[in-house]
Amino acid sequence: MLMTQTKGTSIHQEKHFTASDLVKDIVIGMSDGLTVPFALAAGLSGAVASNNIIITAGIAEVVAGSIAMGLGGYLAGKTELEHYQSELKREYYEADNMPEKEIQEVKDIFADFGMSERLQTEIAGQLSKDKDKWVNFMMRFELGMEKPDPRRATRSAMNIGLSYVVGGLVPLIGYFITQTPKHGLVLSSVMTILFLFVFGYGKTKLTGIKPFEGALKTVITGALAAGAAFLIARLIS
């Protein structure tokens, strides 16, 4: 949050939210964790007569889903790091072998900011004296790439996987404490919808979007997925 003040005026506060990697991972894992097991349990409720079957299938899906989602997060993090390193190597090569071209690219970047030819030449010349800073500048402002955290892949896998487990267990709680799939479905639906609403509200509030609208969209998405699975299971059975 930035605060600025001028004489005779009130303090101006600039509020910006940049979602951290942790928040992004939780949103990815929790969203799928709530929706997929909920749809599976609802679908099975229309096809089987035992809560034990639904619980067993639900837990198996949560375990498999958390591993798959975590692995996906890990691979995405590794790919991002490898891509950055590949482009970094290319920029160092170009700085060594095509310095005039790279200097012109620096000048072009500052030209887009409306700087004069003299300033463009001066800044590019000063920047090119330090190869590391020069290359890092090009990575950020030419390619729009920030250096990834080397530990990001592992952390992302854990964050997404655990979030999926937490979200995936919510729809199954109703089946643990009821005797029939019908009653389990009712309780599971109430709990999951409430959790989806709270989750959707918090997620959209952080990003500055209308929280109530975001919560409704999250609930509708989960309800449609579960409803479709339930109807398909009933038609098949």
Q: Which amino acid is at 201?
A: Y
Q: Is residue 108 part of a domain?
A: yes
Contact status, residue 79 vs residue 152, Cβ threshold 8 Å: no
Calpha distance 101→104 (Å, rounded): 5
Q: Is residue 133 part of a domain?
A: yes
Contact status, residue 29 vs residue 62, Cβ threshold 8 Å: no
Give per-residue pLDDT as tens, 165-199: 998 999 899 899 988 888 888 898 888 888 888 87
Q: Is residue 3 part of a domain?
A: no
Nearest one of 124, 54, 131 to 91, comparing CA atoms? 131
Nearest one of 177, 202, 188 to 230, comparing CA atoms? 188
pLDDT value, residue 16? 47
pLDDT value, residue 30? 83
Give per-residue pLDDT as tens, 35-86: 888 888 888 887 788 899 999 999 999 999 999 999 999 998 899 889 989 8
pLDDT value, residue 160? 93
Give per-residue pLDDT as tens, 209-223: 677 777 788 778 767
Contact status, residue 172 vs residue 188, Cβ threshold 8 Å: yes
Residue 88 pLDDT exceeds 60 = yes
Q: Is residue 88 part of a domain?
A: yes
Residue 98 pLDDT exceeds 90 = no
Contact status, residue 39 vs residue 228, Cβ threshold 8 Å: yes
Strand partners, 2: 14
Give per-residue pLDDT as tens, 5-28: 444 444 545 454 445 777 788 888
pLDDT value, residue 159? 92
pLDDT band at 94 (very low <50, low <70, confident <90, very high): confident
Q: Is residue 210 part of a domain?
A: yes
More confident residue, 168 or 229: 168
Number of domains in the chain: 1
Q: Is residue 6 part of a domain?
A: no
Residue 146, domain extent = 20-236
In the structure encoding, which two tokens stand for residue 95, read together? Answer: 């700085």
Q: Is residue 41 part of a domain?
A: yes
pLDDT value, residue 12? 46
Q: Is residue 205 part of a domain?
A: yes
Q: What is this structure's pTM? A: 0.74
More confident residue, 90 or 228: 90
Nearest one of 53, 33, 39 to 233, comparing CA atoms? 39
